[in-house]
Amino acid sequence: MSGPARPRLVFLGLPRTGKSTFLGAFWALVQSPIETSVREASFSGDRSYVQRLAEQVARGEELDRTALGADDELEVELQFEPEGFAQLAIPDTSGESLRILAERRIWYPRLLAACSDATAILVFIHPERLRLPQRIAIAAGGGRAEPEAAPERAAGGLEFHPGDPVGFQAQEHACTAAELIDVFENLAELWRERRPIRVGVVVSAWDRVGGDPRPTPYEWMGAWLPGVLATLESNRDVADFEVYGVSAQGGSLAERDGLLAKGEICDRVFAEDRDGRAVSLVDPIRWAIWGS
């Protein structure tokens, strides 16, 4: 009899794309008696970190951001029905570490270690936080006016201040699609010896995506991130690809009372597969471990 699978998943995404929220909701489902397709098979180890995430999701709170130097990790043995046991490890990587890779072309050590060991990647995208291509304008006068308000974006584009002692870095303002394609190319290089690997795209806050009819997750990618979709579709030898839409809170945190009125986490979260069919929130992780 073979032992349990030993998948190592990595959640990748720029800041505030829902990585920790998804992990917290997933853990809440693992512990819920209503979700019968997955359960905890071993109770050893420190669960305080992921338990805190699950509790914050249950209370409808915005989760604390993951600090760049954080080294939290979910490491647990789970039993999936009907696939079997998996000794699952998911390091919680900060969005900033991915940004460093995309913008500065440097692998942050913890991210590099996580991706080097990964058996699958889930890439998180928030539909309301896509960065689209912007115009760059050179500000008149060179230097910045004082006083200047804290971080703000110039209306309709970015201002480039030649007199600023910290030089303007165009790559810090690249659009989301360009960053994700660049990250994929870095990952492809990293996995050169063990292709293909599974890459799942998780479009978070799926409850915010509108339209009549609402697009499927695959259609949404085709509409908003066509370059990313084309890259993944044309590199099947590098990565098996899947896409999901998930709502790991089940609604907007701005309407917290209404959100909590929907009931427990398992009552309010939902997910859709690439074709828009309702699936369990567990399914992206199930696919990442076992494939289709």
What residues make contact with other proteins under the rule CB under 8 A?
Answer: 14-16, 45-46, 49, 61-72, 94-96, 99-100, 104-106, 108, 129, 144, 146-151, 164-167
Place of tokens 């032992």: 3
CB of 218 to other proteins, least distance (A): 27
Residues 187, 98: Cα–Cα separation, whole Å: 11
Nearer to other proteins, 33 or 165 (CB): 165
Residues 72, 70: Cα–Cα separation, whole Å: 6
Tokens at 18, concatenated:
């829902």
Nearer to other proteins, 146 or 193 (CB): 146
Residues 178, 131: Cα–Cα separation, whole Å: 10
CB of 279 to other proteins, least distance (A): 29
Strand-pair category, 270-272 with 239-247: antiparallel
Nearer to other proteins, 96 or 207 (CB): 96
CB of 37 to other proteins, least distance (A): 29
Residues 67, 22: Cα–Cα separation, whole Å: 17
Nearer to other proteins, 129 or 214 (CB): 129
On the CB side of 268, CA atoms within 13 Å amount to 24
Residues 88, 173: Cα–Cα separation, whole Å: 35
CB of 153 to other proteins, least distance (A): 10
| Three-state DSSP class for residue 160 | strand
CB of 62 to other proteins, least distance (A): 6
CB of 33 to other proteins, least distance (A): 28
**What count of other Cβ atoms lies within 10 Å of the Cβ of residue 219?**
17
Residues 88, 77: Cα–Cα separation, whole Å: 6
Nearer to other proteins, 141 or 226 (CB): 141
Nearer to other proteins, 45 or 258 (CB): 45
